[in-house]
């Protein structure tokens, strides 16, 4: 794939932040990274990218988690620099599940609520790209409504024993730790009594098996049978997990990652349309221009959310709007791409007759996930309608 997207200009970036972007961009354009990405594109079915050398290359320079304190492997910068890394990784086509799970979610929870011992034990390795951490929230009986989770933490001396099942999580077969939500007490309100734990995934009593999906990367089913955890494994306060999940997960919904992936995909469609002579068709050219304009709007909205975070003034409703709008752009972009290549675009890159650099078919299979990750489109619309418009 020859396309290499250039991001739209971002108003309000300082000279240092512009230089930081160029530095990250140079790292991602290095031979070490581009060769690894080429190897990943050619990997056979069933092999997943996990501990990428790309992550280690960023981690060595403190670029993987730049907003984290220096003592934990970061650079002590802010939300803008974190967003720059996320955007540049998406534009370069770097698989981001390990980064999103380990840095953006588990790392964020530990920075906000972890003990000094938890931070020292896990954050430096995550920031260096040397450790995989994942998230165990969703269960077979509850999806977006985490108040219905049934995994239990039963008292055992000064600690607990965990029992339950988690599903549709990513990278658990490779992870060392997981941020796991479990019920520690019952009450009349379902949201109460949930606690967050750091669960060692390689402990006796943890069984992980793959759950096939349409995407190249599989989900995981994690069965937890009596794993003992102590007070040192609790993240935040006991029974306070619902509040933490609701407050902190909103911070990942800027839309930057979704926009970057959609921008890369649209630029690929435009590149192929140019080769096929479709840009001479005014109807098709206008359609692509409209898609480009929508992505420009998504980019502006996403960066406004980033600046809100940098000002420590997040807007949950606007963040839901940004996430929803950016992730809803994938389907019309993919539809346009199908018109360019026709049935050839549906050939897997493992097919001998497919284009040597084709990833379009994989992108098409992955498209539904964008409407689900970081909160489904339906949940985002619900948040907008209730919290923003007061409709329900």
Let me know whether 210 and 305 are in one domain: no
On average, the pLDDT of the chain sits at: 88
pLDDT at 358 over 60: no
pLDDT, average across residues 45-50:
69
Kindly indicate the confidence band of residue 344, based on its pLDDT and cuts at 50, 70 and 90. confident
**Assigned domain for 245 exists:** no
Let me know whether 166 and 214 are in one domain: yes
**Assigned domain for 81 exists:** yes
Please write the tens of the pLDDT for every residue from 77-131. Answer: 999 999 999 999 999 989 888 999 999 999 999 999 999 999 999 999 999 999 9
Cα dihedral across residues 74, 76, 77, 83: positive or negative: positive
* pLDDT at residue 236, rounded to an integer: 96
Give the count of domains, the chain: 3
**Assigned domain for 104 exists:** no
Let me know whether 319 and 368 are in one domain: yes
**Assigned domain for 117 exists:** no
Let me know whether 309 and 333 are in one domain: yes
- Containing structural domain, residue 192: 135-239
Let me know whether 182 and 156 are in one domain: yes
* pLDDT at residue 212, rounded to an integer: 81
pTM recorded for the entire structure? 0.90
Of the two residues 7 and 315, the one the predictor is more confident about is 315
**Assigned domain for 48 exists:** yes
Let me know whether 334 and 260 are in one domain: yes
Please write the tens of the pLDDT for every residue from 254-266. Answer: 999 999 999 999 9
For position 46, which CATH number holds?
1.10.540.10
**Assigned domain for 113 exists:** no
Please write the tens of the pLDDT for every residue from 149-181. Answer: 999 999 999 999 999 999 988 889 889 999 999
In the chain, pLDDT over 90 holds for what percent of residues?
Answer: 60
Q: Mapped to the 3 state alphabet, what secondary structure does the chain carry?
A: CCCCCCCCCCCCCCHHHHHHHHHHHHHHCCHHHHHHHHHHHCCCCCCCCCCCHHHHHHHHCCCCCCCCCHHHCCCCCCHHHHHHHHHHHHHHCCCCHHHHHHHHHHHHHHHHHCCHHHHHHHHHHHHCCCCCEEEECCECCECCCHHHCCCEEEEECCEEEEEEEEEEECCCCCCCEEEEEEECCCCCCCCCCEEEEEEECCCCCEEEEEECCCCCCCEEEEEEEEEEECHHHEECCCCEHHHHHHHHHHHHCCCHHHHHHHHHHHHHHHHHHHHCCHHHCHHHHHHHHHHHHHHHHHHHHHHHHHHHHHCCCCCHHHHHHHHHHHHCCHHHHHHHHHHHHHHHHHCCCCCCCCCCCCCHHHHHHHHHHHCCCCCCHHHHHHHHHHHHCCCC
**Assigned domain for 298 exists:** yes
Of the two residues 49 and 234, the one the predictor is more confident about is 234
pLDDT at 343 over 60: yes
Let me know whether 257 and 367 are in one domain: yes
**Assigned domain for 75 exists:** yes
Domain-terminating residue out of 41, 71, 95: 95
For position 206, which CATH number holds?
2.40.110.10
Let me know whether 27 and 87 are in one domain: yes
Let me know whether 317 and 217 are in one domain: no
Let me know whether 323 and 196 are in one domain: no
206 Cβ contact partners less than 8 Å away, ≥ 6 residues apart: 199, 200, 222, 223, 224, 225, 227
* pLDDT at residue 341, rounded to an integer: 77
Of the two residues 352 and 232, the one the predictor is more confident about is 232
Kindly indicate the confidence band of residue 1, based on its pLDDT and cuts at 50, 70 and 90. very low
In the chain, pLDDT over 70 holds for what percent of residues?
Answer: 93
Let me know whether 359 and 261 are in one domain: yes
Let me know whether 375 and 311 are in one domain: yes
Please write the tens of the pLDDT for every residue from 2-44. Answer: 444 556 778 789 999 999 999 999 999 988 888 888 777 677 6
């Amino acid at each position: 794939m020859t396309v290499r997207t250039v991001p739209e200009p971002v108003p309000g970036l300082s000279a240092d932040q512009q230089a930081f972007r160029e530095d990250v961009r140079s790292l991602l354009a290095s031979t070490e990274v581009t060769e690894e990405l080429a190897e990943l594109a050619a990997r056979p079915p069933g092999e997943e990218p996990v501990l990428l050398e790309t992550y280690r290359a960023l981690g060595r320079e403190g670029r993987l988690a730049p907003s984290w304190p220096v003592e934990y492997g970061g650079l002590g910068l802010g939300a803008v620099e974190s967003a720059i890394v996320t955007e540049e990784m998406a534009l370069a086509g770097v698989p981001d599940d390990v980064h999103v799970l380990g840095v953006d979610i588990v790392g964020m929870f530990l920075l906000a609520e972890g003990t000094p011992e938890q931070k020292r034990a896990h954050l430096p390795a995550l920031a260096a790209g040397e450790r995989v951490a994942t998230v165990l929230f969703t269960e077979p009986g509850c999806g977006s409504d985490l108040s219905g989770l049934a995994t239990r933490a039963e008292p055992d001396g000064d600690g607990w024993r965990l029992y339950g099942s988690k599903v549709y999580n990513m990278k658990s077969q490779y992870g060392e730790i997981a941020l796991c939500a479990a019920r520690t007490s019952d009450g009349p309100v379902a949201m109460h009594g949930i606690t967050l734990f750091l669960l060692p995934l390689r402990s006796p009593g943890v069984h992980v098996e793959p759950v096939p999906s349409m995407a190249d990367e599989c989900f995981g089913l994690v069965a937890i049978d009596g794993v003992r955890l102590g007070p040192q494994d609790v993240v935040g306060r006991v029974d306070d997990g619902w509040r933490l999940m609701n407050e902190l997960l909103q911070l990942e919904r800027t839309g930057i990652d979704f926009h970057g992936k959609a921008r890369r995909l649209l630029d690929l469609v435009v590149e192929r349309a140019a080769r096929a002579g479709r840009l001479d068709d005014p109807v098709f050219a206008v359609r692509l221009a409209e898609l480009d304009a929508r992505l420009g709007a998504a980019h502006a909205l996403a960066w406004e959310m980033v600046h809100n975070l940098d000002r420590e003034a997040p807007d949950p409703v606007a963040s839901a709007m940004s996430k929803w709008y950016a992730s809803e752009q994938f389907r019309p972009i993919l539809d346009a791409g199908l018109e360019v290549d026709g049935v050839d675009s549906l050939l897997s890159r493992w097919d001998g007759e497919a284009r040597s650099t084709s990833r379009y078919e994989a992108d098409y299979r992955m498209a539904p996930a964008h409407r689900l990750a970081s909160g489904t489109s339906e949940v985002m619309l619900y948040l907008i309608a209730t919290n923003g418009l007061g409709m329900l």
